[in-house]
Amino acid sequence: MKILVTGGAGYIGSHTCVELLNSGYEIAVLDNLSNSSEKSLDRIKEITGKDFEFYKCDLLDFEEVNKVFEAEQVDGVIHFAGLKAVGESVQKPLWYYHNNITGTLNLLKIMEMHKVYNIVFSSSATVYGNPKSLPIVEDFPLSTTNPYGSTKLYIEGILKDLFVSNNNFSVTILRYFNPIGAHKSGLIGEDPKGIPNNLMPYIQQVAIGKLPQLSVFGNQYPTKDGTGVRDYIHVVDLSIAHVKAVEKKSDVAGVHIYNIGTGNGYSVLEMVKAFEKASGKEIKYKICPNRPGDIPACFADATKAKNELDWVAQYNLEDMCRDGWNWQSKNPNGYEE
Ligand code: NAD
Ligand code: WQD
């Protein structure tokens, strides 16, 4: 079975390519490299000892994407390609809607033209907005607080409408919580451009001395220690969830929606402590005002993924911090030499 991985050069995509290849799938990768490096593809080949085609291609270019489907007989698509920076999406909403939504519309039209009816889509816990209670279950009300989140919610709606119009489709929507960590080889990992927006890449850059200290965004939330609580999940666990989704759902028509998280909530200060322990480095921090749009706490009920995908997170917080530090310390400048 051959899977086309859009956004396969990126952080989660590259890890999923490794798990797909290790599970015996053939793959082809489509990416415009707008937020990634082609070196990640060489590293995937190094880890797995397997080869695959790469198409440097933009989902906004309908003709080029169509050519990829003409060249490759794919059985399904895992669709990671998209822009993901929340703050940037507030500054450039039209660009985010265009890239993420038009890109997805092109992909779906071409899939239908070529009768490729399986898709796994990268959604996000951001579609739950500020949840009414915790843990979060898939049927909670949906809302968003920024254009990035809205692209995810609208694409979910587009996928549901597509299935209504064409019952051949098998759509699996995975709502990720907070992916961190890296492959244990230290060959692939998260390589944010510029100053990181997310907590763990920021902590990792403080640990290697690239950034002086962490700004902790708020310590007056109604949480265990006042700082924000999230459900951090090892990127390899998240990648395995994609393989399970393909295994279990690609021949089941319908729209299947799953939370992919561990079910554990850790605070910012707990993350700082866990990372200090794993790295042996002190993480200096200062308490700062809340970041606008942040919610106090968020963690998953992932029972549905357990029951229907036979998927459960295997890695704990110690593993996530160890593997994140292994990647960062071996590649202080990411994929750049
Ligand atoms: P990433 O930026 O590392 O990977 C996304 C990839 O898509 C990049 O390689 C980029 O070059 C490519 N891309 C973007 N627009 C494209 C286009 N028009 N055509 C072709 N390629 C394009 O991000 P990631 O962290 O690996 O995230 C993967 C997916 O998961 C994204 O859709 C993201 O929104 C979603 N997601 C990420 C997180 C997270 O915290 N990392 C959480 C929830 C959901
Ligand atoms: C985690 C916690 C911050 C940075 C975002 C997106 C979400 C999804 C995952 C894509 C919060 C605190 C952070 C810092 C801090 N992405 N923090 N100092 O906000 O849960 O989710 O990434 O879909 O859509 O919104 O993740 O890592 O940014 O923050 O104190 O420098 O760390 O306030 O409590 P978040 P995050």
Asked whether the bond before 196 is cis by omega within 30 degrees of 0, the reply is no
> d(Cα 114, Cα 67) in Å, to the nearest integer?
11
Active site residues: 148
Q: Is the CB of 88 under 6 A from ligand 2?
A: no
Q: Are 103 and 77 in contact (CB under 8 A)?
A: no
199 in a structural domain: no
145 in a structural domain: yes
Q: Is the CB of 34 under 6 A from ligand 1?
A: yes
Place of tokens 């007989």: 73
Rounded to the nearest whole angstrom, what is the distance from the C-alpha of residue 92 to the centroid of ligand 1?
A: 16
Q: Is the CB of 122 under 6 A from ligand 1?
A: yes
Q: pTM of the full predicted structure?
A: 0.99
337 in a structural domain: no
Q: Which residues contact 7 (CB under 8 A, 6 or more apart)?
A: 13, 30, 31, 36, 79, 80, 81, 82, 122
Closest residue to atom 13 of ligand 2, CA basis: 199
Rounded to the nearest whole angstrom, what is the distance from the C-alpha of residue 224 to the centroid of ligand 1?
A: 32
Q: Which atom of ligand 1 is nearest to the CA of 191?
A: 3
How many domains would you assign to the chain?
Answer: 1
Q: What is the pLDDT along the chain (337 residues), one digit of tens a residue?
A: 999 999 999 999 999 999 999 999 999 999 999 999 999 999 999 999 999 999 999 999 999 999 999 999 999 999 999 999 999 999 999 999 999 999 999 999 999 999 999 999 999 999 999 999 999 999 999 999 999 999 999 999 999 999 999 999 999 999 999 999 999 999 999 999 999 999 999 999 999 999 999 999 999 999 999 999 999 999 999 999 999 999 999 999 999 999 999 999 999 999 999 999 999 999 999 999 999 999 999 999 999 999 999 999 999 999 999 999 999 999 999 999 7
163 in a structural domain: yes
Q: Domain range holding 177? A: 2-190+232-263+298-315
Q: Where residue 166 sits, what CATH number does that domain have?
A: 3.40.50.720
Q: Is the CB of 261 under 6 A from ligand 1?
A: no
Strand, coil or helix: 259: strand
287 in a structural domain: no
Q: Are 203 and 272 in contact (CB under 8 A)?
A: yes
Task: Give Dmax over CA atoms of the chain in angstroms.
Answer: 55
Q: Which amino acid is at 121?
A: F
CA distances from 118 to 53, 137, 221, 226, 329 (A): 20, 24, 41, 43, 38
332 in a structural domain: no
